[in-house]
Amino acid sequence: MPKTSSRLLTLLSLLQTRRDWSGTVLADRLDVSLRTVRRDVDRLRELGYPIAAAKGPEGGYRLSAGTELPPLLFDDEQAVALTIALQIAATTQGNGLAESAERALNTIRQVMPSRLRHRINALQITAVEQPTTQPDAPVYGDVLLTISAAIQAQESLRFDYGPGTTDQRPRRAEPHHVITWNGRWYLVAWDLDREDWRTFRADRITLRTPNGPRFTPRAVPGGDVATYVTSIFRGSADASGNWPCQGTVILDLPAASVALYTRDGLVEALTPDRCRLTLGSWSWPSLAAAIARFDAEIEVVSPVELTDAFVHLAERFTRTSQ
């Protein structure tokens, strides 16, 4: 690969890893001059990457969100992880995303280098769901995105709930959280007509447009969504449910990715790339180990026993490597 092309890929990879980079730091990392950094940034812009520049003696750069999707750059591990996630989505029945995931998977396979394509082709994954008496209707991505956008904008929603309700007055609710529980997506919201908190299954929601007026968020019963939802689904006000140990963490992963591997826990979407996970286990070390299986940065919300368990496991793993 020509040196310039290789440098452009390295520059793009750096810009994707954090929000802001100074020109001097980029020049040091690439072992080039500031002038060369500026030229390379201009080349990436010509390729469709929206890179914003800050004025100053050294300058600064940020990869911004654009109106069009430019070419993406993944390292080998990211490409393999993305392909595995798409295979799971493509073979999970009734999730509403199977067809789109299959098309995305085929697109990625076409542009993969041969060394990765052979590895991926040898890996075939099929997601097997627990049988239910009545299969769920699919949840389409645009529904979840619209609900999440309304939560961020603090706009009330109007929607039909359940089959055969389009000729009735729509439900009106103030959306607060999108969560998953036991493989299903739910909306936690304040029902304006019933003047009480409700959980709505996302696969039963048919949104109406436009959204309703803006609102000031209310406090969720129990102090947080994990306590409230656990008490609803397990029929108890005790947030620990059936597990003697329960903790809450924030993961630098999308809620949809975490939900694929979490059946007995609560996943709450915070941002497109972060989520809050509440999970239980029979001991604090086993709970820490279960959370550590996610390849992401972990921030413990509560309790302190979970933090101590992570420290305990870290010390144990350090001893085994000596």
Instruction: Read off the pLDDT of residues 60-81 as tens digits, 9 standing for 90 and up.
Output: 888 776 545 556 667 677 777 7
Q: 230 near 267, Cβ under 8 Å?
A: no
Q: For residues 81 and 235, which has the higher predicted lDDT (pLDDT)?
A: 81
Q: What is the tens place of the pLDDT at every residue in 80-102? A: 777 777 776 666 655 566 677 77
Sheet hosting strand 21-22, strand order edge to edge: 21-22, 60-63, 51-54
Are the C-beta atoms of residues 147 and 111 closer than 8 Å to each other?
no
Residue with tokens 């992963």: 253
Q: Which of 101-115, 161-175, 307-321 has the highest mean pLDDT?
A: 307-321
Q: Residue 241: left (phi > 0), alpha (psi -120 to 50), or beta?
A: left
Among 7, 162, 143, CA closest to 73? 7
Nearest to 51 by CA among 60, 33, 25: 60
> Which pLDDT score is estimated for 43?
87
**Model confidence, pTM:** 0.47
Structural domains in the chain plus CATH codes:
3-63 (1.10.10.10), 76-121 (no CATH), 141-208 (2.30.30), 231-320 (3.30.70)
The pLDDT tens digits for 107-150 are: 777 667 777 776 666 555 544 444 444 445 566 667 887 888 89
